């Protein structure tokens, strides 16, 4: 059974800079939680708290692989909210701070932003 859309939770999830930074880092696909703390320069409990919030808002989903958790974006099922979400994600692409986060993630060992060929991608 699909969870009922909660507009307050949706907009609250998008109203926090740390959560926006996390979404920005997941923009191109799944990311292991181990990359977030180092990239954002914060601690794991804070990252976990924000990922839980995004999960409650149905904006991310997690997958366990051994001891590691991998997160990816899930777009809202509500059509108008999906439009707002897509516009928000598009806006993040041109933000200098968000761009800097993505570049910093490239410096993290075994970053998910490094393609199979070994070339870094943005």
Q: How far apart, in Å, are the Cα atoms of 73 and each of 26, 56, 65, 94, 107?
A: 6, 12, 17, 19, 22
Domain 7-107, CATH number (from 3.20.20.70, 1.10.300.10, 1.20.1260.10, 1.10.10.10):
1.10.10.10
Indicate the Cα dihedral angle 122, 115, 48, 53, nearest 10°. 60
Rounded mean pLDDT for each run of 10 residues along the chain, 122 residues in total? 85 98 95 90 92 97 92 95 98 96 83 49 50
Write down the pLDDT at residue 112: 58
């Amino acid at each position: 059974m699909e969870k009922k859309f909660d507009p307050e939770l949706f907009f609250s999830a998008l109203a926090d800079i740390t959560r926006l930074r996390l979404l920005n880092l997941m923009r191109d696909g799944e990311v292991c939680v181990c990359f977030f703390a180092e990239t954002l320069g914060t601690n794991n409990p804070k990252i976990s708290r924000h990922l839980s919030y995004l999960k409650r808002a149905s904006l991310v989903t997690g997958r366990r692989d051994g001891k590691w958790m991998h997160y990816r974006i899930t777009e809202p099922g509500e059509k108008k909210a999906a439009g707002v979400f897509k516009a928000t994600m598009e806006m993040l692409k041109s933000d200098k701070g968000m761009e800097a986060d993505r570049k910093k993630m490239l410096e993290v060992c075994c970053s998910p932003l490094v393609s199979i060929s070994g070339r870094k991608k943005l």
